[in-house]
Amino acid sequence: MIDVPELALVALVGISGSGKSTFARAHFKPTQVLSSDYFRGLVADDENDQSASAEAFDVLHYVAGKRLAAGRLTVVDATNLQPHARAGLVKVAKEHDVLPVAIVLDVPEALAWERTQARPDRTFGRQVLTRMHRDLRRSLGSLTREGFRKVHVLRGPDEIASTEIRYEKLFNDKRELTGPFDIVGDVHGCLPELLALLAKLGYDVVRDDAGRAVNAVHVDGRTLIFVGDLVDRGPDSPGVLRLVMGMVAAGTAICVPGNHEQKLARKLNGRNVQLTHGLPETLEQLSREPEEFAGEVKTFIEGLISHYVLDEGKLVVAHAGLKEAYQGRASGRVRSFALYGETTGETDEYGLPVRYPWARDYRGSAAVVYGHTPTVKPEWINNTICLDTGCVFGGELTALRWPSRELVAVPAAREYYAPVRPLAVPARPDDGLDIADVTGRRHLDYAYGRTTVAAENAAAALEVMSRFALDPATLVWLPPTMAPCSTATVDGYLEHPSTALADMRAAGVSRVVCEEKHMGSRAVVRVSRTGAGDAIWTRTGRPFFGPALDEPLLARVRAAAMPLFDELGTDWLLIDAELLPWSAKAGGLIRERYAGVGAAGRHALPAALAVLDQVAARGLDVAALRDRIELRSSEIDGYSAAYRSYVKPTEGLTGITLAPFALLAGAGESYASKDHGWHLAQADRLVAADPQLFTTTRRIVVDLSDPAAEAEAIDWWLSLTATGGEGMVVKPYAGLAVTDDKGRLVQPGVKCRGREYLRIIYGPEYTRPEQLAGLRQRNLGRKRSLALREHGLGLAALDRLAEGAPLWRVHELVFAILAAESEPVDPRL
Written as one string, the DSSP assignment of 577-589 is: EEEE-HHHHHHHH
pLDDT confidence of residue 603: 84
90-132 pLDDT, tens digit per residue, is 999 999 999 999 999 999 988 888 887 777 766 676 877 888 8
CA-based nearest residue to 690, from 556, 565, 550: 556
Per-residue DSSP letter, 569: T
Overall average pLDDT of the 322-343 stretch: 91
Q: Do 106 and 14 touch, CB atoms closer than 8 A?
A: yes
> Does residue 427 register a pLDDT over 70?
no
CA distances for 412 relative to 198, 231, 244, 277, 389, angstroms: 14, 16, 19, 19, 10
412, 473, 477, 604 from 379: Cα distances, Å: 19, 21, 21, 63
Among 753, 735, 755, 754, CA closest to 745: 735
Confidence of residue 424 (pLDDT cuts 50, 70, 90): low
Distance CA 528, CA 736 (A): 23
**Whole-prediction pTM:** 0.69
Q: Strand ranges (DSSP E) for 156-283?
A: 165-168, 173-174, 181-184, 203-207, 213-218, 223-226, 253-255
List, for residues 792-821, the tens digit of each pLDDT value.
999 999 999 998 888 888 999 999 999 999
Residue 531's region, left for phi above 0, alpha for psi from -120 to 50, else beta, is left
Question: Rounded mean pLDDT of the chain?
Answer: 91
Contact 236, 285 (CB under 8 A): yes
* Whether residue 431 has pLDDT greater than 70: no
574 neighbors 557 (Cβ within 8 angstroms): no
Helix (H) or strand (E) holding 10, with range, is strand 8-13
Structure-model confidence comparison of residues 586 and 390, the more confident one: 390
Average pLDDT value for residue range 578-607: 83
Q: Is 173 helix (H, G, I), strand (E, B) or coil?
A: strand
The sign of the dihedral angle between the CA atoms of 523, 524, 527, 531 is negative
Percent of the chain with pLDDT over 70: 97
Q: In which band, very low, low, confident or very high, does the pLDDT at 648 lie, cut at 50, 70 and 90?
A: confident
Q: What pLDDT is stored for residue 386 in this prediction?
A: 95
pLDDT digits (tens, 9 = 90+) for 481-511: 999 999 998 999 999 999 999 999 999 999 9
The answer, yes or no, to whether residue 350 has pLDDT greater than 70, is no
- Say if residue 63 is exposed, middle or buried (CB neighbours under 10 Å; 0-12, 13-18, 19+): middle
**Helix residue ranges, H only, 7-52:** 20-27, 36-44
Determine the Cα–Cα distance for residues 745 and 739; give it in Å rounded to an integer. 4
Strand partners, 727: 517, 753
- 777: pLDDT strictly greater than 70: yes
Neighbours of 436 (CB within 10 A): 12
